[in-house]
Chain A
Amino acid sequence: MTVTIDWYVALSAILFTIGALGVLLRRNAIVVFMCIEMMLNSANLLFVAFARHLGNLDGQVLVFFVIVVAAAEVAVGLALIVTIFRTKHSINIDEINLLKG
């Protein structure tokens, strides 16, 4: 029995599912951001696994772009959370409804 690409696809899908469930179920905005990070990471794992599977370096280069976008997203998102916390004194995403019509 050898480890094939299918195993990595399954692991990545499971991690992505856990992250998506966390985004839907948790109310703490910071934990929601961490779940998004984990979803991005499962996609990265699949990129690297397929780069190894196909013998192609492009997948590894794309991982860099994903990491850059994740870093920018975290910086902006945490700045948003800090700003919202200053005005509302809460980071419960159920109470952040200023944009509701």
Chain B
Amino acid sequence: MGTPFIFIILAIVAIVAALMMVTSRNAVHSALWLVLNFATIAVFYVILNAPFIAMVQIIVYAGAIMVLFLFVIMLLGAERLRGATEARTGGERFHQIVAALLGVMLLAAVAVVLFSGESGGTAVTTPMDTSPQALGLNLFENYVFPFEVTGILLIVAIIGVAIFTLGKKRGAKT
């Protein structure tokens, strides 16, 4: 499952990219940091013997979805929020307290898992066939019904988006 050196380097890049994504003020910068994070995770997929999923990750996530994000950001001109965005209202203070508690709890759980001495054991050593053919056979033999449901989900999403964006022309001005 990779050597420790490569794992640590990649993990640092992924975590730094994630932190920069959350903290940068400009939404375009956030999107570009997220692309770096996705690319790093794609390298993890290659290490984990999943080359096809790594390619799908690059094409679908870092390609299609992030281009859609950047397109919408630049279309709306919403790089930064206008007006007084950093108003310290009571609700925002509450969010910060909840976020801090959640972060501390999750990281404490990670620490407990890592330092409890209970390991998940060693990985299997037999090589696994992860070619697109094997994945496709597994998909269409064991997961046919979920596959059909995701097809319906995509159709519904397309119709919903079309109604959202085209409905204004016919109806009266709202």
Chain A residues with CB under 8 A of B82: 90
Chain A residues with CB under 8 A of B157: 72-73, 75-76
Say what secondary structure dominates the interface of chain B.
helix
Per-position 1/0 for A40-67, Cβ under 8 A of B: 0100110011011111111011011101
Q: State in angstroms the CA–CA spacing of A76 and B122 once bound together.
A: 41
Query: Which of A7, A16, A57, A85 is the one whose CB lies under 8 Å from B128?
Result: A57
Whether the pair B4, A1 counts as a contact (CB closer than 8 A) is yes
Residue A96 at the chain B interface, CB threshold 8 Å: no
A contact residues, range: 35 or more
Whether the pair A41, B37 counts as a contact (CB closer than 8 A) is yes
Per-position 1/0 for A7-34, Cβ under 8 A of B: 1111101111111111011111011011
Q: State in angstroms the CA–CA spacing of A80 and B174 once bound together.
A: 15
Query: Which of B68, B78, B98 is the one whose CB lies under 8 Å from A74?
Result: B68
Q: State in angstroms the CA–CA spacing of A87 and B164 once bound together.
A: 13
Q: State in angstroms the CA–CA spacing of A76 and B162 once bound together.
A: 9
Whether the pair B75, A70 counts as a contact (CB closer than 8 A) is no
Residues of B within 8 A of A (CB): 1-4, 7, 11, 14-15, 18-19, 21-22, 27, 30-31, 34, 37-38, 41, 44-45, 48-50, 52-53, 56-57, 60-61, 64-65, 68-69, 72-73, 75-76, 78, 80-83, 85, 89, 91-92, 95-96, 98-99, 102-103, 106-107, 109-110, 113-114, 119-124, 126, 128-130, 134-135, 138-139, 142-143, 146, 150, 153-154, 156-158, 160-161, 164-165, 168, 174
Residues of A within 8 A of B (CB): 1-11, 13-22, 24-28, 30-31, 33-35, 37-38, 41, 44-45, 48-49, 51-58, 60-61, 63-65, 67-76, 78-83, 85-87, 90-92, 94
